[in-house]
């Protein structure tokens, strides 16, 4: 099996847009883990994607803006919300690299319900906000439903200089052009497209997180090995296909 390369831009075209949205004010935190520790948590037909023998757990906070069907306008009110996700990195039998979400906390209940029903994505309804002071951002999340109720996260990052050329690891962690999910007895691949990330160095000032362990993952062993920030990108998703 040949695994697709890690590229700045998507390696697959989106022929028919299923969803459109914009991602703003993203903070990326990542920890290295041995692949065998997370392999049982991935959907059938996928395995951990690795970089120099390790795979990664990601904690990502951001603002979803203008979520809508096709290329039409975003859904008013319900299409804009805060989100924090916990994710892993996967490869399927066709060599497609993607992410696997262990949890996605969002501040609007309706998108949570739709995503749970349509793709069986592990969305959770949470109270969330982002506080900004100059170049410092604090992401807060407290889970409402479903459980574990009360699981919370608070992370504060200071945004640094733009990155002219990301490292190979930074490419690996951010250049992801799809997701894998298990729904209705099948493992699905859902492709996405967006421009190359505008990335910044970032410094983690504070972290008090329960979402990683609530997602069934081991508690992080020490500080994250990578902390990044992006002002954001527009994104489109194609329809799901079977992962083979």
Rounded-to-integer distance, Cα 127 and Cα 105, Å: 9
Start-to-end CA distance of the chain, whole Å, equals 11
Strand partners, 69: 19
Average pLDDT (43-53) is 97
- Between 40 and 117, name the one with better pLDDT: 40
Q: Supply the pLDDT for residue 55.
A: 98
Average pLDDT (60-75) is 84
Residue 196 has pLDDT above 80, yes or no: yes
**pLDDT tens-digit series, residues 94-108:** 999 999 999 999 999
Closest alpha carbon to 145 in 173, 168, 125: 125
Q: Supply the pLDDT for residue 7.
A: 77
Rounded-to-integer distance, Cα 90 and Cα 20, Å: 23
Give the strand pairing for 123-133 and 97-106: parallel
Inter-residue contact 94 to 2 (CB < 8 Å): no
As given in the structure block, the two tokens for residue 214 are 């609530």
Residue 24 has pLDDT above 80, yes or no: yes
Q: Supply the pLDDT for residue 162.
A: 98
The full set of domain ranges for the chain reads 18-239
* Model confidence, pTM: 0.94
% residues pLDDT > 70 (the chain)? 97
Inter-residue contact 180 to 187 (CB < 8 Å): yes
Q: How confident is the model at residue 197 (pLDDT cuts 50, 70, 90)?
A: very high
Q: Supply the pLDDT for residue 149.
A: 86
Question: For tokens 């919300």, what's the residue?
Answer: 81
Q: Supply the pLDDT for residue 76.
A: 67
Residue 22 has pLDDT above 90, yes or no: yes
Quick one: fold of 18-239? Acetoacetate decarboxylase-like (2.40.400)
Residue 151 has pLDDT above 80, yes or no: yes
Residue 211 has pLDDT above 80, yes or no: yes
Q: How confident is the model at residue 77 (pLDDT cuts 50, 70, 90)?
A: low
Residue 1 has pLDDT above 70, yes or no: no
């Amino acid at each position: 099996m040949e695994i697709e390369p890690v590229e700045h831009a998507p390696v697959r075209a989106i022929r028919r847009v299923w969803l459109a949205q914009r991602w703003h004010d993203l903070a990326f935190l990542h920890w290295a883990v041995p692949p065998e520790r997370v392999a049982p948590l991935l959907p059938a037909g996928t395995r951990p994607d690795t970089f120099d023998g390790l795979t990664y757990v990601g904690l990502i906070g951001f603002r979803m803006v203008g979520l809508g069907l096709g290329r039409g306008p975003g859904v008013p009110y319900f299409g804009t919300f805060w989100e924090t996700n916990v994710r892993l990195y996967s490869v399927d039998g066709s060599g497609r690299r993607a992410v696997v979400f262990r949890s996605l906390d969002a501040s609007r209940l309706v998108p949570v319900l739709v995503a749970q029903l349509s793709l069986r994505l592990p969305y959770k309804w949470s109270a969330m906000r982002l506080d900004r002071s100059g170049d410092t951002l604090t992401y807060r999340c407290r889970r409402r439903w479903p459980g574990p109720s009360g699981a919370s996260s608070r992370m504060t990052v200071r945004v640094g200089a733009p990155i002219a050329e990301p490292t190979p690891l930074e490419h690996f962690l951010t250049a992801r052009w799809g997701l894998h999910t298990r729904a209705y007895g099948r493992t699905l691949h859902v492709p996405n497209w967006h421009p190359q990330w505008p990335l910044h160095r970032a410094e983690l000032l504070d972290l008090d997180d329960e979402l990683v362990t609530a997602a069934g993952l081991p508690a992080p062993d020490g500080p994250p090995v990578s902390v990044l920030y992006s002002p954001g990108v527009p994104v489109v998703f194609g329809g799901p296909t079977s992962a083979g």
